[in-house]
Each structure stands twice: as structure tokens, then as C-alpha cells.
Structure 1
Amino acid sequence: MAQRAPILTDERVVELISTATMLGGTVADPFAALMARHSVTSLVGMVRQACREGVEAVPDAPPELVAFIAAMEAAPQWLDMELVHKGARQARVDAALLSPFITRGAFIATFTNTYAALPMALTGALSGRRAARRVNETANFFAVTTLPGALDRYGPGFEAAAMVRLMHSMVRYNALERSDRWDPEIYGVPVPQVDQMPAGMIGLYLLAIRIRRAGRTEFTRSERALVEFARYRCFLLGLPEELLPTTAEGIIAVFHARAALLRDGFDDATCGGLIRSTMAAYLRAGESRFDRIADSVEKSYSTAGFVLAFCRGNRHVARRMGVSIGVLDLVRIALTAPFIIGRVLAVTGANRIPMLRPAVDRYLTRLVKRRLAAYGNPEFVSDAKMYTPIAH
């Protein structure tokens, strides 16, 4: 995808990635550290109440909570909420019609490197049934943020972002303070800012690659809305502006810089185990024949998406990582693609027609809410009691 040597000679980029690799949540971490005196339930309740009613509604709100919420409320100077709303409307198409079929594949992409995967391996969050819960929580977050007004101050996406931030901070606190299995000299900081960036910006990276291949350098007005939406969502998650470029080339550069500075390694016990447990997880709420068929179809699409997007179509590379695509997967995709892809294209086209846009948006909003009901209520917590040993 890029030459590594030129990236390593760019002192500014190396400094940026190195710094972001050692940074956690500068305002959420102190609040999570209150676990030394407060229960997780109490801290979660404080954050939820502060998001829904304002921090002044929280009795005896600790200063750490006040600073946490204030940092999220402090809108950056570059923010254009009108563009954010337009970008969310566009993102609703994928959240409603496409994301349910690719989220698992995108999720396991974070496990293809031993060092980036270690925090999840340590927490034990992807063993047994918890694998399904974590995938659904991830899908829930990205879906809820696309709802109308979700990223407004009192919107459900704002609260979801605060909860994800708190969860990441809990992982850091538990790993560094309550576990003897995490060695900072070897592993650094758990869930650093630089490792959060790809999840929030992967859509923009793929868009930027398409723009480059088309011979363009600038985003269109429509694409610009998607950029603003994704950047603001990442801001609410605590990422610094330096990791959120505004140009296609800048987005590509920061992604490639992270990859160039990430130590190579794929340990089957860590990465392979996480990938296998995630692919084996059953994500549906019901056990009906339809649910079983839908689960198998989703797994086929997630597998294909992983092979194409993260293994460059090389099935042998994917197989070595624990992901195999077979004949049945291809048959399921062939049988369902006309409906799934056809619906995406039809809705995307209708969404461009001003007269049809309101009706299309109401349809997509209803569908996203149905997806959220299927994903279940996210917990967004990290329990140190469930952490597992990891090998050095």
C-alpha cells in the first residue's frame, strides 16, 4: 500500500504517531481511576445522567466528571454541525443496509497484529458469548451515531461516545493498576489514541483511496459531509485533531504512518484466537430458522469483506490468519447479492432526489432503529475480574 522507508524519515509524522501511541484518554482516564473509590455501576450511572441531564444534575459530581463532560461539550473551531447532520444522513444508508453484513469482518481486522490486539486479549472480552456482545456493542455504537441529531449535545450518539471513552479508560486503568499481566515496558499504554483512530476513520481511508485511484485530490461537497461527520464522532471519542486530517492525502498518510510504525507480529494464540472466537460467535437474538440462515449469510459477507479489504483478496493470507472462505460462502453471497447490493444502490439513488429524500430518510431511520433493537442494549464496561493471562 505504501513504501515504509520514506515515512520513517519524516520526523513530524514519526513524532505524531509515537506520541499518540503513548497517549490514553487525558480527561476520561482520571474519571475511570475513581474506580479505586467508586463502583463501576456508580461511575457509569454518573456519565449517563450527565449526558442526559447535564453534569449539574449529578449529585456531588466529582471534578473529574465535570472535566470529562466539559471536554466533550467544547466544540472544536472547525466544527460545522450542518455538515455533520448531512454526513450522518448519508452514513445511515450503510448503517441500515450494509454494515450488518460487514461489521464482524471489520471488527476482526483489529486483531491482525499481536500488539494492537493485546488489550482485547487481556480483557477476555472475546471468549464465548462475550464475543457476540462486543461485536454487537461495536455495531450499536456506529449505528446509533447515524440517527438524526444523535451527535447533538443531548443526543444518543453523544452519550454512546462518552460510554465508549469510559470503557477504554476502564481497560487502561484495570490493565495498569489491577492486573499483573500487563507490562508497560513491553506493551506501552493499553488502547492508545493511535489505535482508536483506524476504527473511527476506516471509512474515510477507503474513500480517500478511491479518490486517489480516480485521479482526484479533493472531496466533493457530499464527501466533505461524511468527512465532517466521521471527524466529529472521533473528536467525541477523544481523538486529537492531529489524527483527524481533512484531506484525502492526509487521511491516507496518517493511516500508512501508523502501519509503518506498528511492530510486525501475528501470534496465533492471541490474534488467531480472537479471530476464531469472533467468527464463531452467533450474533442473532433469536434461534429461528430465519435467524440461523441470516447468521450464516452475514458470516459469509463478513468473511468476504475481510478477505477483500484486509488481505487484498488473497485467500491464502486470510486462511493463515484463521479466516477461510469456502464454496458455500460464495453461494450465499451470489444468491443474496442481487437483493442486498441492489437495495443499497436503489436507496442511494433515491436519496439523491430531493423529492424522495425525506421518505427515504424516514425508511432508513426506522431500519437503523430495528438494527439497534437487534444488537441489544450495550453495556460499554470492562470488568477486571474477567481479564485473562497473556504470554510475553
Structure 2
Amino acid sequence: MSTDSPRLHPDIPEGAAVPRVPTWYVDRTAARERFGEAVDSFGPFLMRGDPPADELVAVLNELRPAQANRMLQQALDEGIASVRRPPRAFVQFFRQIDEIPLWLDWDKLDRGGRAVLRTGPLGAVVLACYSLPLSYASPDGSKPLTASGRLVQRASRRLTETARFLVETCRPGGLRRGAEGFKITIRVRLMHAQVRRLLLQRKSWPYERWGIPVNQAYMAGTNVLFSSVLIEGLSKLGYEVPQAERDDIVQLWRYGGLLSGVDSTICAATEAEGLRLIRLIHAVMDPPDDDSRALVKALMEAPLELAKSPAQKVVAQRLVDLLYGLSRHLVGEDLANTLAYPRTSWRHVAPVLRGMNMMMNSFQRRVPESRDALYRFGLEAWERVIENGLAGIPAAFDFRKATVGDQGGPTHAP
């Protein structure tokens, strides 16, 4: 045990003895043979949170709710300089997010956002059937979501909020200072900090065993689900993303990752880095457990949650079978079996869908102007998903709504 490392979190006593890596992170021989020293470099990120956000949330919780909300909203809308006598944690946090990296190219980010939104329903399918199952398959990474059973029961709402986060990030200028995507990204970051705070305060989170909740390693892994992993999933279904646009997408989420609190040393800068990171996570993690299976099941069966009438339930069940079939194709037989996917005849639809997408690729190459029409169609499709899923209840992304349930887990976290 080491006691000379920096303080991990405001709710872990200063000088507390903490391991360099979680206790489960041992005997990673097979992963080390494949990834070498990267395995040793990766482990400590499982014990790191997001100090600027953690410090800010600690201060926000000491203020009156109205005062905290007013100061936060003003800083998001007008900048920290407009806030009268802000606490030190406010100043440090907003100075960090106001730093623009030298590599940032706003035109690339706009092109990357348009490329993602152009995927429309197919992009939503890949997110639900490939990106998120890969994330939930990690047993310790999924613990903040599954420690409270309520989140498993709110899969459709959580997926819709994730879609809104994605769309606002991908709109032109979505991550510029004061834009809606920028504000949502910061609010989600503070929600994650609140989750860390509440779990650690309850003293029921075994950080020595599981690592810091919502830690740097899985923040970075989650970030690449929207870039490198999304691109890979689209490719598996025959959808072609031109090489230039692939890099545009990665740079969009690279900057989004920095705003989300991902350490720059682990925030993927290229498509290859993103894929290597997700492969490394799956190489070092333990096999999916019952919590992982419960979370993925809730995700796949979210359409049943929204169905009301018998006719709607019949349609929803067919959609669920389709989602399981496509997800089996995307994640592979081994992981699908470990996650207890049922076998449905819909798994054979993936080659058909791949052929249709390849024909669409050919059409786009022959008729370049069709890309603008596909962008408008894709954006409208994403917005319909969000409108139907939210059902008139706005997604607030309020860090104070991140509460801990009776089992010690957060009852709200996107």
C-alpha cells in the first residue's frame, strides 16, 4: 500500500493508505503479453478521479442550492470572469475548461459532428448494440450504474439522454463556449463528480477493490465509444466513413473528452489509439458478471419498457429480437454468449443490412450532394428519438439529481 500518492478525492482522508491499482488488477499476464508496458501504465488510472470537478462539486454542495445553481449557470453562460467573488475551486475548474488546445480546429469538429449525425438511425443502432454493450461488459466499470437497481429500470430514459448529449455535441459549434453541447458536457462531468462523492461518502464503495468510481480509465474508455468504436461498428455494418471524416470524428470527441475531464495522457488522439484503448480495457478486465448482464439486458429490452398496448408489445418484442441479433453480430459470439444474449433469427439480418449500406455508400460517392440531404434526414431521426424518449420531460443534466440509492449506487447517471 502506498501513502505518498496525491489525495485521490476530497472524501478520502488525506494521507489514507491506498493501493496503486485496485486489488483485482493483478496477474494480467495475458494482457501484458499483448500490450506490454501499457498494462502497467493503464492500471493507476483506475484509481484516479477528476480532481478539478471533484473539488468544485464539494464546494457547490456547501452552498445554498439557489446560489450554487446561479453561480454555475452564470459561469457557463458568461464565463468565470462574470461571477462575483467566485470560490477558488470555481476559478480553477473554469480556467481549465477555457484552455483551448493548440491542435483544436473548429472546422474539423464541425465536419466530424455532421459525419456522426449523418448516420441517423444506423448510428443510434450501433451506439445501442455495440458501443454501450462493450462498456457495460466491464464488471467494475459498470458498478456505479448497477449498484442501484433503479438505473436498470430506466434504460430507455438513460439511452435517450445519451442521444441528446451526442446530438448537442455534434451540432455545428456544439462544443464552443456557451453552446448547448458545451454546457451539457460540463454538467455531465459534474454529475459524474457528484456520483463519485456520494458513493465514497457512503463508505460502502470498496475503492481498494474496484477503484475510484467513474475513474479516468473508464471515462477515457467511454469517450472512445462515440468515436473509434462507433466508426468500427458502422464499418461492420457496411457503412463507409471516409478517412478524413474518421479523423474529424475522433478530434471532435477528443476535445469533448478533455471537457469531460479525461486526462490528456489517456484521451485518444487517433482512431487507432481509441481502438487500442478499448481492446486494452477488455484484455485486462474480468469477464462480465451478473451486474453487466442485467445492465445490457435492460438496454436491449428498453423498447418493451415503452410499450403500453398489446400491439405495441408485439412490435417492441420484434425490435428487441432485432437488437439482440445485430448486437450479437457486432460484439461477437463469445461476448454475446457471456452476456447471455438469446439466439434469434434476426442475427442473420446483419449481412442484408451491410449490403444495403454498401449500396448507399456507392450512391453517396456518385451523388456527393446527397450527403447534405442525408445529414438533414439523420439529424431529424436523432431528434425524433430524443423527443419520443423524453416524452415531454426535459433532460436537465443537474448534478444535484445524481443521488445514491439504498444499495449504495447512483440513481441517475447518463
TM-score, length of structure 1 as denominator length:
0.79
Contact kept in structure 2, 1:20 and 1:193, CA below 8 Å: yes
**Counterpart in 2 of 1:322?**
340
Match of 2:288 in 1: 266
Matched, 1:257 2:271: no
2:156 pairs with 1:135:
no
2:113 touches 2:172 (CA, 8 Å); kept in 1? yes
Does the 8 A contact of 2:126 with 2:234 survive in 1? Answer: no
- Give the secondary structure class of the aligned counterpart of 2:140: helix
| Maintained 8 Å contact 2:139/2:288 | yes
Question: Structure 1, residues 271-308: CA drift from partner, whole Å, max 9, x if none?
Answer: 23323333333478674788656644543343234322
Partner of 1:214: none
Give 1:223's match in structure 2, choosing from 246, 250, 262. Answer: 246
Q: CA distance change for structure 1 residues 209 and 266 in 2, over 3 Å: closer, same or farther?
A: closer
Identity over aligned residues, as a percent? 22
Question: In 1, are the aligned partners of 2:118 and 2:379 still within 8 Å (CA)?
Answer: no
Equivalent residue, structure 1, for 2:133: 108
CA deviation profile, 1:247-279 (whole Å, cap 9, x unmatched): 4443333333333333x14332x2233233333
In 2, the alpha carbon distance for the partners of 1:52 and 1:256 equals: 38
Partner of 1:364: 378
Find out whether 1:169 has 2:190 as its counterpart.
Answer: no
Q: State the alpha-carbon separation in 1 of the partners of residues 293 and 307 from structure 2.
A: 28
Deviation at residue 186 of structure 1 after TM alignment: 1.5
Instruction: Classify 1:282/1:6 alpha carbon distance in 2 versus 1 (closer, same or farther; 3 Å).
Output: same
1:146 aligned onto 2:160: no
Partner of 1:386: 405
**The residue matched to 1:98 in structure 2 has which SS?**
helix
Unaligned runs of 5+ in 1: 212-218
2:199 counterpart SS class: helix
* C-alpha distance in 1 between matches for 2:192 and 2:389: 20
Matches within 5 A, 1:54-203: 54-58=79-83, 61-94=86-119, 96-105=120-129, 106-128=131-153, 130-177=154-201, 179-202=202-225, 203=227
Q: Do the aligned partners of residues 46 and 76 (structure 1) sit closer, same or farther apart at CA in structure 2, a change above 3 Å counting? A: same
Residue pairs, 1:288-327, within 5 angstroms: 295-296=316-317, 298-310=319-331, 312-314=332-334, 318-327=336-345
Judge which range, 342-351 or 59-68, deviates more: 342-351
Name which of 301, 307, 323 aligns with 1:280: 301
Give the SS at the match of 2:101: coil
Secondary structure at the counterpart of residue 322 of structure 1: coil
CA RMSD of aligned residues (A): 3.6
Is the contact made by 2:118 and 2:377 (CA closer than 8 Å) also made in structure 1? no
Shift of 1:29: 1.0
The residue identity in structure 2 corresponding to 1:6 is E
Distance (whole Å) between structure 2 residues aligned to residue 125 and residue 351 of structure 1: 46
Cα separation, 1, equivalents of 2:362 and 2:245: 12
- Displacement of 1:51 after TM fit? 2.2
Using the size of structure 2 for normalisation, the TM-score is 0.75
Q: What does residue range 44-55 of structure 1 map to in structure 2 within 5 Å?
A: 46-55=71-80
Distance of 1:3 and 1:174 partners within structure 2: 35
What are the superposed Cα offsets for residues 323-364 of structure 1, whole Å, 9 maximum, x if unpaired? 21323x459x58xx76x9858964894488554444443443
Between Structure 1 and Structure 2, which shows a larger proportion of helix residues? 1
Q: Is the 8 A contact 2:165 2:184 kept in 1?
A: yes
